[in-house]
Chain A
């Protein structure tokens, strides 16, 4: 279980991005949503250790991970999938899945992870993770690495960003399969209704604060009527 206590993040320039976040995540499929600039990505990055919070604690299964480095958190069960997957010249798909699995994978094993995310393994396994891969392909490879890790907590930062709607629709099935096969908690930052409607718990952020936490029946109607309010709030 993930527990966040009084978490705040103020930039070196003095801008408050996260403001006293308190949260208990006890469901297995959780969505974080909210308008742009509400602090969603920053929250996910503080959990993964990429951003150090200015105040507060983060606990995973009761263990305080606030002081741990990115590497230590990764080893303790936190995975993070980037909004814009990173490209590497010279590192192949097979390499990155082996790194994720923490052992040298056989071709068959690596192929299995790729098949899980709907990629024909033979076409991809030896390809470099470079400019030749499309945004949708990179997202799938990123998810395959999360599959290979199968950690206690997997964070996805806006998986819909940078890919077309058609590609995203087919990606949702991959998340559903992940939910069925992986044991841990999946936390997805998303604006997509289909992701939100699949979530067991939705966290609504606004202006760096938690506006609401609840099931989809409770939160979805708030989102529908809330659009205008956020728009006005942003303009103010």
Chain B
């Protein structure tokens, strides 16, 4: 253990967003119930509190390779409205991993909300792998869990970022905004997986400006909408130079749910090559039958297909 005094229920919530106590060493930041709880820095990564706003600045030295930085947030008290600004300044020639995530446990009557605004400034030829998991737990009587993550990504020449974002359970209302701006030879790959149920609402907005020569982006969104939940997917990719862009929105719709996909691709250069694919539909009958011929019940087959689709 790392000597941090964290109660077992909080550790449990951290586990739900894939953060273990032993991850909270070196360069890390843990935010609990709307306040900084603990943080640390390493030789190459400095994490400091912002002076004017809630949140932190994360500065990564040039040439930092192999470091993993955890910055989880958990809310365990009902009725907290948390707004936080985290700015990442990543130097040149780095290769690092950042694990973020937000878990809300709300068993009170008031809504709990976390709005995390993350800005990434990625230096030349640096590679960043960024993952975030959003998870909530509450009961039908308790207040809503609301998360509105905003991610702003600026990648310099030759930089690469991969973003893996997951929201599978317990988030009642979310508007997820991601904006990317890419320099020459920069690449941004985003994978999003969402599942909504009950009366949940999830909205995703991707906006990527391919400003640099030979820049490229690949946005993949897979989602499952069950019960009475609603989802809206909006993507907007602008190809402003010689570049390539590919967005893919794939949704399984069940019960009384509704899903809308509004893709937009704009080429402002004859050398821009942009593709969008969108598919919304129920689980194919032949997929269920195939798995049933292998011995699964219809319900087991359905679960297998859904879990595979968004895992």
Q: A: which residues have CB within 8 A of B?
A: 48, 50, 69-71, 74-75, 78-80, 82, 85-86, 88-92, 95-96, 99-100, 102, 145, 149
Contact = CB atoms under 8 A, between A and B. Distances in A.
A86 B296 contact: no
Interface stretch (B134-142, B161-169, B268-276, B303-311): B303-311
B292 A71 contact: yes
B291 interface: yes
Contact of A79 (B293, B297, B305, B311): B293
B289 interface: yes
B293 A99 contact: no
Contacts of B290: 82, 85-86
* Contact-size category for B: 20 to 34
A70 B293 contact: yes
A75 to B, nearest CB: 5
Contacts of B289: 50, 70, 86
Nearest to A85: B290
Interface in B277-311: 284, 286-287, 289-298, 304-305, 307-311
A32 B309 CA distance: 36
B250 interface: yes
Contacts of A85: 290
Contact of A71 (B222, B284, B297): B297
- SS of A interface (majority): mixed
Contact of B284 (A86, A102, A145): A86
A167 B177 CA distance: 48
Interface of B: 222, 250, 284, 286-287, 289-298, 304-305, 307-311
A90 B296 contact: no
B294 A88 contact: no
Given A86-B286, A90-B222, A74 B292 contact: yes
Contact of A74 (B250, B293, B304): B293
A198 to B, nearest CB: 24
B305 to A, nearest CB: 7
A149 B292 CA distance: 13
B291 A99 contact: yes
Contacts of B309: 89-90
A171 B169 CA distance: 44
Nearest to A80: B293
Contacts of A90: 222, 305, 307-311
B35 to A, nearest CB: 39
Given A74-B294, A102-B295, A86 B311 contact: no
A99 B284 contact: no
Contacts of A92: 308
A105 to B, nearest CB: 13
B236 to A, nearest CB: 24
B222 A89 contact: yes
A149 B308 contact: no
A100 B289 CA distance: 13
Contact of B304 (A48, A80, A89, A99): A99
B191 to A, nearest CB: 12
Nearest to B309: A90
Nearest to B297: A71
A74 B295 contact: yes
20 contacts: A69-B292, A70-B292, A71-B295, A71-B296, A74-B294, A74-B295, A79-B294, A82-B290, A85-B290, A86-B286, A88-B308, A90-B222, A90-B305, A90-B308, A90-B309, A95-B304, A95-B308, A99-B294, A99-B295, A100-B294
Given A79-B294, A89-B309, A90-B309, 14 more contacts: A70-B292, A82-B286, A86-B284, A86-B286, A88-B287, A88-B308, A89-B222, A90-B305, A90-B311, A91-B304, A91-B308, A95-B304, A99-B294, A99-B296
Residue with the highest number of chain A CB atoms closer than 10 Å, among B298, B307, B308: B308
Contacts of A78: 293
